[in-house]
Amino acid sequence: MNAVWQIRSKSLSGVPDGATIPLYYLSNGRVSFSSRDSKYENVATTGQVQHQHTVDTLPHEPLDEAHDCIKSGCQRVIINVSGQRFETQLRTLNRFPLTLLGDPLKRKQFWDSRRNELFIDRHRPSFQAVLYYYQSGGRLRRPIEVPEDIFLEELEFYEIGEDEIREYKEKEGFVMEVERELPEKEWQKKIWLFCEEPDSSKTARAFAIVSVVCILISIVNFCLETLPNFERKTCVNVTLDFGETFNVVPNYKDAFFIIESICVMWFTLEFILRMISCPSKLAFAKNVMNIFDLLAILPFFITLITVNVAEKCGEGSSKGGSFIFIRVLRVFRVFKLSKHSQGLRILGLTIKTSLHELGMFFFFLIVAMVIFSSAAYYAEAGEPDTQLKSIPGAFWWAIVTMTTVGYGDVTPVGVWGKLVGALCVVAGVLTIALPVPVVVANFNNFYRHESGRGYISA
């Protein structure tokens, strides 16, 4: 039985007073509709009348705010979400036919024929964002009082598109899991999973633990060998049959050298296994972490080849500029921990996301450094005991002062110089404070999404 409605108030355009209008049936049941200038009252019932009302809409089509519902034939639908009613137009829901509310067959299960509305027993605050998704043409905005895990569950329930959910997660700072390409050959796939996925097997987990231990031992060894207490000769005397002595052979029995050799051999084995089993050699070569891995093992072999081939094992050669630069490259082993450390990954993602803000910070810092170093130099120009001999020489004082470090090795001595120094401190504090909230917010987002803790709630 289909209800019949009679107009009691103003006449509609082209419809006389007292006329009856049938309540249309849709594929999902009956939908109530009304108008600003009219009220409808159910006065009788007639035989079942089925009339399919369709509205031609395009996806992401903006709704015309000045359109006439009576002329365009649009209808309103009431959606009751756990007792809170929302009212929208049917053509708004039809813009996304693949979603739960956009598909007539899917939303039919929620139709309440007695109340003439859709009833959904779900989270009410989240539905505001879901309804805005339909109204705005596909934009997702999470209400600030809704926790992220609940909001994502609601999006999955209403069958919002995966592309929209992925875009929302990227904007919110979620750490997106990239689908990794696997090698085609079976033996390469086993080696690749063994080296890259510690959770793939117990042996892979043991391999990862040994890698972490080797990284830690190599870092500790790299630091301890520079202590004065462990100072030793890196070369040993070799006497030939003719009685001639040379200082050309490294001390291969040195404990630090043995530990370093063992760790580097493990890193080399790991790097070779990953290189021969990787699905794409070009992508492997472009990966930043693989470049760090290569830089972590190259210094050992370069040093070893240089000492043996060039026969330069003296103390002077080990302290040369090129030799020191090669040994400093061993510091890159620290970055190998990022593959096994959640905290380092979060720190790297935070810096990567905040590059724009950090760039602005360094730009402001350089501008302020030039301004205050120039002002301090000219303010101290008349002082006989001034330590600021030039503007470039005052750069160090300006940087130390603006970052509130204050070593005290270079200080202004005059009244005007001290005044400039005070202004420099205040400007430095403000300059540092500008990008800090953005960086902290990015870190907080990555930390919440990576660790699964700290959801924002009202």
Query: How sure is the predictor about 419, in pLDDT bands with cuts at 50, 70 and 90?
Result: very high
Give yes or no for a contact between 212 and 340, defined as CB atoms under 8 angstroms apart.
yes
pLDDT of 245 above 80:
no
Alpha-helical (H) ranges within 403-435 are 415-433
pLDDT of 394 above 50:
yes
Which pair of structure tokens corresponds to residue 56? 């031609």
Domain boundary among 172, 198, 226: 172
Same domain, 358 and 297: no
Query: How sure is the predictor about 226, in pLDDT bands with cuts at 50, 70 and 90?
Result: confident
Query: How sure is the predictor about 48, in pLDDT bands with cuts at 50, 70 and 90?
Result: very low
What pTM, to 2 d.p., does this model score? 0.56
Query: How sure is the predictor about 265, in pLDDT bands with cuts at 50, 70 and 90?
Result: very high
Q: Please give the pLDDT value at position 369.
A: 92
Residue 59 lies in a domain: no
Same domain, 333 and 362: no
Q: Please give the pLDDT value at position 65.
A: 55
Residue that the structure tokens 């080990």 belong to: 318
Residue 14 lies in a domain: no
Same domain, 152 and 229: no
Domain with 125 in it: what CATH number?
Answer: 3.30.710.10
CA end-to-end span of the chain? 47
Please choose, from the candidates 91, 75, 83, the residue with its C-alpha nearest in 3D space to the C-alpha of residue 134.
91
Residue 181 lies in a domain: no
Q: Please give the pLDDT value at position 313.
A: 62
Distances (CA, A) of 447 to 71, 289, 293, 348, 441: 53, 21, 26, 12, 10
Residue that the structure tokens 């470039």 belong to: 392
Residue 356 CA, chain-centre distance (Å), reads: 14
**Separation of alpha carbons 366 and 428, rounded Å:** 11
| % the chain with pLDDT above 90 | 16
**Separation of alpha carbons 230 and 129, rounded Å:** 64
Please choose, from the candidates 458, 213, 249, 443, the residue with its C-alpha nearest in 3D space to the C-alpha of residue 336.
213
Query: How sure is the predictor about 120, in pLDDT bands with cuts at 50, 70 and 90?
Result: very high
**Separation of alpha carbons 110 and 169, rounded Å:** 29
Domain boundary among 340, 358, 376: 340
Count Cα neighbours of 174 within 13 Å in the Cβ-side half-sphere.
Answer: 16
> What are the pLDDT digits (tens) for 1-17?
444 334 343 444 444 44
Residue 301 lies in a domain: yes
Domain boundary among 309, 340, 371: 340
Domain with 394 in it: what CATH number?
Answer: 1.10.287.70
Distances (CA, A) of 259 to 222, 227, 252, 298, 403: 10, 16, 11, 16, 40
Amino acid at 332: F
Same domain, 322 and 376: no
Same domain, 285 and 147: no
Count Cα neighbours of 380 within 13 Å in the Cβ-side half-sphere.
Answer: 27
Same domain, 101 and 121: yes
Q: Please give the pLDDT value at position 300.
A: 84
- Total tally of structural domains belonging to the chain: 3
**Separation of alpha carbons 183 and 332, rounded Å:** 28
| Other CB atoms within 10 Å distance of the CB of residue 403 | 14
pLDDT of 219 above 80:
yes
> What are the pLDDT digits (tens) for 345-368?
888 888 888 888 888 889 999 999
Phi-psi domain of 404 (left: phi exceeds 0; alpha: psi -120 through 50; beta: other):
left
Same domain, 333 and 347: no
SS3 state of residue 408: coil
Give yes or no for a contact between 148 and 455, defined as CB atoms under 8 angstroms apart.
yes
Give yes or no for a contact between 116 and 124, defined as CB atoms under 8 angstroms apart.
no
The range of the structural domain enclosing residue 119 comes to 76-172
Same domain, 140 and 264: no
Give yes or no for a contact between 126 and 146, defined as CB atoms under 8 angstroms apart.
yes
DSSP string for 244-284: -EEEEEE-TT-HHHHHHHHHHHHHHHHHHHHHHH-S-HHHH
Please choose, from the candidates 135, 54, 128, 130, the residue with its C-alpha nearest in 3D space to the C-alpha of residue 95.
135
Residue 24 lies in a domain: no
Give yes or no for a contact between 181 and 279, defined as CB atoms under 8 angstroms apart.
yes
Pairing of strands 117-120, 111-112: antiparallel
Mean pLDDT of the chain: 76
Which pair of structure tokens corresponds to residue 379? 């303010």
Give yes or no for a contact between 7 and 23, defined as CB atoms under 8 angstroms apart.
no
Give yes or no for a contact between 59 and 95, defined as CB atoms under 8 angstroms apart.
yes
Q: Please give the pLDDT value at position 47.
A: 37
Same domain, 123 and 255: no
Domain with 291 in it: what CATH number?
Answer: 1.20.120.350
**Separation of alpha carbons 155 and 445, rounded Å:** 20
Residue 237 lies in a domain: yes
Residue 46 lies in a domain: no
Q: Please give the pLDDT value at position 179.
A: 66
Same domain, 357 and 322: no
Name residues whose C-beta falls within 8 Å of residue 5's C-beta, 6 or more positions apart in sequence: 20, 21, 22, 23, 40, 41, 42, 43
Same domain, 368 and 421: yes
Name residues whose C-beta falls within 8 Å of residue 38's C-beta, 6 or more positions apart in sequence: 7, 9, 10, 12
Q: Please give the pLDDT value at position 434.
A: 85
Residue 12 lies in a domain: no
Same domain, 164 and 234: no
Q: What is the mean pLDDT of residues 157-166?
A: 88
Residue that the structure tokens 């359109």 belong to: 67
**Separation of alpha carbons 76 and 91, rounded Å:** 9
